[in-house]
Protein backbone atom coordinates (compact mmCIF):
# COMPACT_ATOMS: atom_id res chain seq x y z
CA UNK A 1 0.00 0.00 0.00
CA UNK A 2 2.87 2.29 -0.57
CA UNK A 3 1.37 3.70 -3.82
CA UNK A 4 1.93 7.36 -4.41
CA UNK A 5 -0.85 9.79 -5.29
CA UNK A 6 0.46 10.29 -8.82
CA UNK A 7 0.25 6.57 -9.53
CA UNK A 8 -3.40 6.40 -8.47
CA UNK A 9 -4.67 9.51 -10.28
CA UNK A 10 -4.55 9.20 -14.06
CA UNK A 11 -2.85 12.02 -15.87
CA UNK A 12 -5.09 15.06 -16.25
CA UNK A 13 -4.93 17.42 -19.21
CA UNK A 14 -3.19 20.71 -18.61
CA UNK A 15 -5.91 23.36 -18.52
CA UNK A 16 -3.48 26.00 -19.76
CA UNK A 17 -2.94 24.16 -23.05
CA UNK A 18 -6.40 22.64 -23.58
CA UNK A 19 -7.34 25.18 -26.29
CA UNK A 20 -4.19 24.38 -28.22
CA UNK A 21 -5.48 20.84 -28.70
CA UNK A 22 -7.15 20.19 -32.07
CA UNK A 23 -10.03 18.21 -30.50
CA UNK A 24 -11.56 21.42 -29.17
CA UNK A 25 -13.68 23.25 -31.75
CA UNK A 26 -12.34 26.62 -32.78
CA UNK A 27 -14.33 29.59 -33.99
CA UNK A 28 -13.35 29.11 -37.63
CA UNK A 29 -14.83 25.58 -37.77
CA UNK A 30 -18.42 26.76 -38.34
CA UNK A 31 -19.73 26.73 -41.91
CA UNK A 32 -19.65 30.09 -43.63
CA UNK A 33 -22.43 31.61 -45.67
CA UNK A 34 -21.81 31.31 -49.40
CA UNK A 35 -21.65 34.72 -50.99
CA UNK A 36 -22.38 35.73 -54.57
CA UNK A 37 -23.81 38.48 -56.72
CA UNK A 38 -26.50 36.54 -58.59
CA UNK A 39 -30.04 37.60 -57.74
CA UNK A 40 -32.45 35.76 -60.00
CA UNK A 41 -36.16 36.29 -59.53
CA UNK A 42 -37.58 33.49 -57.37
CA UNK A 43 -41.19 32.41 -57.68
CA UNK A 44 -42.94 30.87 -54.71
CA UNK A 45 -43.44 27.58 -56.58
CA UNK A 46 -39.70 27.32 -57.35
CA UNK A 47 -38.87 28.18 -53.77
CA UNK A 48 -41.28 25.69 -52.17
CA UNK A 49 -40.07 22.87 -54.45
CA UNK A 50 -36.43 23.44 -53.42
CA UNK A 51 -37.49 23.93 -49.77
CA UNK A 52 -39.31 20.57 -49.73
CA UNK A 53 -36.41 18.82 -51.49
CA UNK A 54 -34.02 20.10 -48.82
CA UNK A 55 -36.43 18.99 -46.07
CA UNK A 56 -36.48 15.48 -47.55
CA UNK A 57 -32.68 15.49 -47.66
CA UNK A 58 -32.67 16.41 -43.95
CA UNK A 59 -35.00 13.48 -43.25
CA UNK A 60 -32.58 11.04 -44.90
CA UNK A 61 -29.73 12.59 -42.88
CA UNK A 62 -31.78 11.94 -39.70
CA UNK A 63 -32.06 15.64 -38.79
CA UNK A 64 -35.65 15.17 -37.69
CA UNK A 65 -36.00 18.35 -35.59
CA UNK A 66 -35.19 20.63 -38.50
CA UNK A 67 -37.17 18.46 -40.95
CA UNK A 68 -40.27 18.68 -38.74
CA UNK A 69 -39.95 22.43 -38.37
CA UNK A 70 -39.57 22.90 -42.13
CA UNK A 71 -42.59 20.74 -42.99
CA UNK A 72 -45.05 21.57 -40.19
CA UNK A 73 -45.97 25.03 -41.43
CA UNK A 74 -45.46 26.44 -44.89
CA UNK A 75 -42.78 29.15 -45.03
CA UNK A 76 -43.52 32.59 -46.43
CA UNK A 77 -41.41 34.26 -49.10
CA UNK A 78 -41.49 38.06 -48.84
CA UNK A 79 -39.17 39.25 -51.59
CA UNK A 80 -35.86 37.73 -50.54
CA UNK A 81 -36.82 37.15 -46.88
CA UNK A 82 -37.95 33.65 -45.96
CA UNK A 83 -40.07 33.56 -42.81
CA UNK A 84 -40.76 30.32 -40.98
CA UNK A 85 -43.00 29.94 -37.94
CA UNK A 86 -41.41 28.48 -34.82
CA UNK A 87 -43.34 27.38 -31.75
CA UNK A 88 -40.76 27.93 -29.02
CA UNK A 89 -37.23 28.98 -28.16
CA UNK A 90 -35.81 25.51 -28.73
CA UNK A 91 -37.03 25.50 -32.33
CA UNK A 92 -35.62 29.02 -32.77
CA UNK A 93 -32.21 27.75 -31.60
CA UNK A 94 -32.40 24.80 -34.01
CA UNK A 95 -33.25 27.18 -36.84
CA UNK A 96 -30.44 29.58 -35.96
CA UNK A 97 -27.87 26.79 -35.80
CA UNK A 98 -28.98 25.41 -39.20
CA UNK A 99 -29.56 28.79 -40.87
CA UNK A 100 -26.22 28.88 -42.71
CA UNK A 101 -26.64 25.36 -44.12
CA UNK A 102 -30.23 26.03 -45.23
CA UNK A 103 -29.31 29.35 -46.87
CA UNK A 104 -26.26 27.88 -48.59
CA UNK A 105 -28.48 25.20 -50.16
CA UNK A 106 -31.29 27.55 -51.15
CA UNK A 107 -29.06 30.34 -52.46
CA UNK A 108 -27.15 28.02 -54.78
CA UNK A 109 -30.19 26.07 -56.03
CA UNK A 110 -32.32 29.20 -56.59
CA UNK A 111 -29.35 31.28 -57.83
CA UNK A 112 -30.24 34.19 -55.55
CA UNK A 113 -27.63 35.18 -52.98
CA UNK A 114 -29.80 37.86 -51.40
CA UNK A 115 -32.07 35.28 -49.74
CA UNK A 116 -32.25 35.45 -45.95
CA UNK A 117 -34.02 33.26 -43.38
CA UNK A 118 -35.83 34.45 -40.28
CA UNK A 119 -37.79 32.60 -37.59
CA UNK A 120 -41.10 34.10 -36.45
CA UNK A 121 -42.31 33.11 -32.98
CA UNK A 122 -45.92 31.90 -33.06
CA UNK A 123 -48.29 33.28 -30.44
CA UNK A 124 -50.66 30.96 -28.66
CA UNK A 125 -53.74 32.02 -26.76
CA UNK A 126 -54.44 29.87 -23.76
CA UNK A 127 -58.12 29.28 -23.13
CA UNK A 128 -59.08 28.14 -19.69
CA UNK A 129 -61.93 25.67 -19.43
CA UNK A 130 -64.80 26.72 -17.13
CA UNK A 131 -64.61 24.82 -13.86
CA UNK A 132 -67.02 26.25 -11.28
CA UNK A 133 -70.78 26.58 -11.69
CA UNK A 134 -70.46 30.37 -12.07
CA UNK A 135 -67.74 30.02 -14.77
CA UNK A 136 -69.83 27.44 -16.66
CA UNK A 137 -72.88 29.71 -16.49
CA UNK A 138 -70.87 32.72 -17.76
CA UNK A 139 -69.52 30.62 -20.65
CA UNK A 140 -73.06 29.55 -21.61
CA UNK A 141 -74.33 33.16 -21.37
CA UNK A 142 -71.51 34.26 -23.66
CA UNK A 143 -72.70 31.74 -26.25
CA UNK A 144 -76.40 32.52 -25.76
CA UNK A 145 -77.31 35.81 -23.98
CA UNK A 146 -81.01 34.82 -23.83
CA UNK A 147 -80.07 32.32 -21.12
CA UNK A 148 -79.59 35.19 -18.66
CA UNK A 149 -83.03 36.55 -19.57
CA UNK A 150 -84.52 33.11 -18.95
CA UNK A 151 -82.80 32.85 -15.55
CA UNK A 152 -84.15 36.27 -14.50
CA UNK A 153 -87.64 35.53 -15.87
CA UNK A 154 -88.02 32.40 -13.73
CA UNK A 155 -86.00 33.83 -10.79
CA UNK A 156 -83.49 30.97 -10.92
CA UNK A 157 -80.25 30.87 -8.99
CA UNK A 158 -76.99 28.98 -9.43
CA UNK A 159 -76.14 26.06 -7.22
Tell me what pLDDT residue 128 has: 80
Q: How many residues does the chain have?
A: 159
Q: What is the pLDDT of residue 48?
A: 93
Q: Over the stretch 1-60, which tens digit does the pLDDT of each residue have?
A: 555 555 555 566 666 665 555 444 444 456 787 777 778 888 899 999 999 999 999 999
Residue 60, C-beta contacts closer than 8 angstroms, at least 6 positions apart: none
- If one compares 152 and 26, the residue with the highest pLDDT of the two is 152
pLDDT at 21: 53
Q: Give residue 131's pLDDT band: very low, low, confident or very high (50, 70, 90).
A: confident
pTM across the whole model: 0.59
> Each residue of 91-130: pLDDT tens digit?
899 999 999 999 999 999 999 888 899 999 888 777 788 8
Amino acid sequence: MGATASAIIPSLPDLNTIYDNNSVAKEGDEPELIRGTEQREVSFNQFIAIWNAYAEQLKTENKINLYTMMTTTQPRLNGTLIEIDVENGVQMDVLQSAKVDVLNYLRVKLQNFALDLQGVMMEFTVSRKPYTSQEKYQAMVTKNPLLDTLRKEFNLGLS
